[in-house]
Amino acid sequence: MNRRPPRSTQSRSSAASDVYKRQEENDKLIGTFTLRDLVVSEPGKTLSEIMKSEPVSLYDDQKSSAIAEIVSKYNLLAVPVIDQNEQLQGMVVVDDVVEDLISERKTRKR
């Protein structure tokens, strides 16, 4: 199976990167929020009040089948990837999961 490294957090907009840096200097994942969460929140609310403080995440060494199960279970389009120290490593998007599943299926048919 082709294992791609998680997408870097550097590819996100600088505003999203700054949220992680401002919340924790050691890049630990402490919460997530969607653009919708931000848009529909009451004016004046802080990110700490908007974000989910116990986010669904993946470890950087998880197998693609486990990743697919989590993406499906929680109906996610993107999932943060952390290492064993809970430091943010990047993200996996649903397109990556689908591509890996298709690739696995093609490999099994041969």
Distance CA 40, CA 110 (A): 49
pTM of the model: 0.67
Residue with structure tokens 């689908």?
98
Range of the domain at 30: 9-109
pLDDT for 44 equals 94
Q: Would residue 1 count as lying in a domain? A: no
pLDDT under 70 in the chain at which residues? 1-24, 109-110
pLDDT for 21 equals 31
pLDDT for 8 equals 46
Q: Would residue 47 count as lying in a domain? A: yes
Q: What CATH number is attached to the domain comprising 93?
A: 3.10.580.10
Q: Would residue 19 count as lying in a domain? A: yes
Q: What percent of the chain lies above the pLDDT cut of 70?
A: 76
Distance CA 58, CA 86 (A): 10
Q: Which residues sit opposite 59 in a β-bridge?
A: 82
pLDDT for 42 equals 95
pLDDT for 4 equals 53
Domain count, the chain: 1
Distance CA 16, CA 47 (A): 11
